[in-house]
Amino acid sequence: MSNVIPFRKPDLKKRAKAHTLCKNGYHKWKIVQERKFDVKQGRLVTLSRCIRCGKEKTTLT
């Protein structure tokens, strides 16, 4: 006889919730680079990336 391997169903609700949140502007930001110097503006810039969708934003410090 062979061994039966149980398969897990993909968690579709969790994936859909994350996609819907980012689509409506509720991102989950995480800081990628603490301090980065912008030459054009002459200021320190913080780079943040959304954990769910990968969108990036920069903020001046």
Q: What is the pLDDT of residues 3-59, one digit of tens each?
A: 888 777 767 777 677 678 888 888 999 999 877 877 777 888 889 999 988 899 988
Contact 33, 47 (CB under 8 A): yes
Q: What's the pLDDT score for residue 28? A: 92
Q: What's the pLDDT score for residue 53? A: 87
**Res 1 pLDDT > 80:** no
Classify 46 in phi/psi space as left (phi over 0), alpha (psi -120 to 50) or beta: beta
pTM: 0.62
Residue 51: strand, helix, or coil: coil
Domain range list for the chain: 28-61
Q: What's the pLDDT score for residue 59? A: 85
